[in-house]
Amino acid sequence: MNRNQISEDTIRILRNRVSLLPKGLRNHMFRVEEIGIEIANDHNIPVNLVAYACLGHDIARGMPENDLLNYAENNNIPIDPIERQSPILLHGQVGSHILQHEEHINEKEILEAVWWHTTFQKNIGPIGQITFLADKLDERKLKQYPFQEEIRSLAKVSLLKAIVTFLSKSISTMIEKEQIVHPLAIETRNHLLQILK
């Protein structure tokens, strides 16, 4: 496996950060790493950055919501009103900021993938696309996303098609349950539908 594009420091920092997390969260991150590698292999994308973006995606997921909100406020991370209401939604942005500014990781694909893994965003590259999908395809999320198999099959053919289908299905479930939908999810879906026409 070629991991040359990542510095040894980055690998050590990520592994150390992950090792300090609660077991359940850590195991989720390991499963996401495996799924990410499988999807990368489907598309002949080098697995190194994908593996470490997936491994590190939830490093801030265990932080209390108040801490996430305070961290975002103190570090000028933009906060959407829906994120102020549900600060857990900020864990990607906060995790990415910690990796960049406290741990001095500078692989931009990893930082971008961690930042956007919850909502996604229209201009994300393939490393971030795979990280987003792999996170949603963890088998422990089957109840939340019963359409996982369809998304996994689509991901073999087209990452963007898989993402837009995931967004369509998850947004419609949220609407049925009368939950608030993150505006970025709608914006991204609209953009992807247009470019995939």
Residues that bind Fe ion (CB under 5 A): 58, 135
Cα–Cα distance between 190 and 5 in angstroms, integer? Answer: 33
**HSE toward the beta carbon, residue 75, CA cutoff 13 A:** 17
Long-range contact set of residues 184-191: C-beta below 8 Å, sequence gap at least 24: 184/80, 184/119, 184/120, 184/121, 185/119, 185/120, 187/122, 188/119, 188/120, 188/121, 188/122, 188/163, 189/164, 191/122
Cα–Cα distance between 100 and 137 in angstroms, integer? Answer: 26
| Strand, helix or coil for residue 59 | coil
Nearer to Fe ion, 142 or 196 (CB): 142
Q: What share of the chain is helix, strand, coil (3-state, %, to 5)?
A: 70, 0, 30
Nearer to Fe ion, 88 or 160 (CB): 88
Least separation in angstroms between residue 32's CB and Fe ion is 6
Least separation in angstroms between residue 71's CB and Fe ion is 15
Nearer to Fe ion, 7 or 62 (CB): 62
Nearer to Fe ion, 58 or 112 (CB): 58
Least separation in angstroms between residue 109's CB and Fe ion is 17
Nearer to Fe ion, 36 or 126 (CB): 36
Least separation in angstroms between residue 91's CB and Fe ion is 6
